[in-house]
Amino acid sequence: MTRIDRKFADLRAQGRKAFVAYVMAGDPDFDTSLELIRGLPGAGVDIIEMGLPFTDPMADGPTIQLAGQRALEAGQTLDRTLAMARAFREEDDTTPIVLMGYYNPIYARGVARFLEQAKEAGIDGLIVVDLPPEEDDELCIPAQAAGLNFIRLATPTTDDRRLPKVLQNTSGFVYYVSITGITGAAAAQAGDVGPEVSRIKAQTDLPVIVGFGIRSPESARAIAAVADGAVVGTAIVKLVEEGRPVPEILDFVKGLADGAHSA
């Protein structure tokens, strides 16, 4: 079992939903970003999604794009992102970390070398948004052989013909994108999400976590009530963009986590 598998088993045993927080690694700088990431478990975060900054983030809205630019300008690299995971693991060996990004930096590093380094750094899963199931031999299958979960996105446009292909080699959890479009584009609606989550769960035993468009404790609670948990990214990253101090950001995260956990 991976840390992700163990986390969901623990949550099920407690009758609790998951709260997942996304932050961009290295935004606005290495030290601030590491301080924030280290504080997330204490704020109630069950799983950390750590964004790997990339120059052409096609699935991300303006807030996440700018976060990636800030991180790159501050000198964030793949190596520094893995170093951040290692530093986190010095204090926390249980909270799962999912690295979320694009294939280019991984391809440039070399898949085998990257997977070895990611595993050694304490990464538990990957979300690589620009690798479709047709390319599973590129990274998905090797990642799972290396002991990392490969988490796939399903969207409102993933119809019943496409869904089995999407689920085929997915592990850890399924990330359901609640809206059509880029991150931060619209608000998630539980009434729309619930039937879609049920449709996915009819075809898999994996937890279904919902992200995109969740900005408040109330929306985190509403979404978690119809899924296995909620993901928040843009609303957190926006506070980093505004230069809010880390304790203030963590207070905001705790409110979101409390919302999801109360579902």
Whole-angstrom Cα distance, residue 89 to residue 99? 14
Superfamily, domain 3-261:
Aldolase class I (3.20.20.70)
What is the chain's mean pLDDT, rounded?
Answer: 95
Cβ contact 213:232 at 8 Å: no
Cβ contact 234:183 at 8 Å: yes
pLDDT of residue 61: 86
116 is catalytic: no
pLDDT of residue 40: 98
User: Residue 259 belongs to what H/E stretch?
Assistant: helix 246-261
Whole-angstrom Cα distance, residue 39 to residue 158? 35
Q: What is the pLDDT of residues 207-233, one digit of tens each?
A: 999 998 899 999 999 999 999 999 999
Domain residue ranges of the chain, discontinuous segments joined by +: 3-261
Selected catalytic residue, list 5, 27, 46, 60: 60
pLDDT of residue 184: 52
Cβ contact 183:64 at 8 Å: yes
Residues in the chain, pLDDT under 70: 180-188
User: Residue 219 belongs to what H/E stretch?
Assistant: helix 217-225
pLDDT of residue 213: 85
Selected catalytic residue, list 5, 27, 46, 49: 49
Measured CA to CA in angstroms, residue 61 lies from 28, 171, 177 at distances of 17, 26, 13
Nearest to 98 by CA among 42, 40, 57, 137: 40
Whole-angstrom Cα distance, residue 28 to residue 75? 10
Measured CA to CA in angstroms, residue 242 lies from 92, 136, 185, 216, 236 at distances of 28, 38, 19, 17, 10
Cβ contact 147:116 at 8 Å: no
60 is catalytic: yes
